[in-house]
Amino acid sequence: MTTTTTTTTIIIIIIIIIIIMWKQNTAQAVPIVISSTGVIPKSLSQGLKRLDLHPNTYIQMQKSVILGTCSTVRNFLNYKSEHRA
């Protein structure tokens, strides 16, 4: 199985679980993908529209991701400096 096939299968399973748990007739998956450096796909604005979110929501999302990445890097660098021989 390829990564894309596996991802698609997982998304379908999650949608089925949501339909059963919340007793819904239908459910849709809206992919929200942001890299660890804050890069977003062009399709993100369409997803935000489908969720009825403000078009500039991606800016706050990018800030959060970048701050998280900085925190991870800072922790890694502190760990490396504390554990040098």
Please indicate, yes or no, whether residues 11 and 49 belong to a single structural domain of this protein.
no
Q: Where are the alpha helices (DSSP H) in the chain?
A: 3-21, 44-50, 57-82
Residues 50-80: tens digit of each pLDDT: 999 998 999 999 999 999 999 999 999 998 7
pLDDT confidence of 84, banded at 50, 70, 90?
Answer: confident
The pLDDT of residue 6 is 87
Please indicate, yes or no, whether residues 11 and 35 belong to a single structural domain of this protein.
no
The pLDDT of residue 4 is 75
Please indicate, yes or no, whether residues 46 and 25 belong to a single structural domain of this protein.
no
The pLDDT of residue 31 is 84
Is the overall model pTM greater than 0.85, yes or no?
Answer: no
Residues 21-50: tens digit of each pLDDT: 999 998 888 888 899 999 999 999 999 999
Please indicate, yes or no, whether residues 55 and 23 belong to a single structural domain of this protein.
no
The pLDDT of residue 85 is 57
Please indicate, yes or no, whether residues 47 and 76 belong to a single structural domain of this protein.
yes
Structurally, how many domains does the chain consist of?
2
Segments forming the whole domain that contains residue 13: 1-30
d(CA 15, CA 24): 10
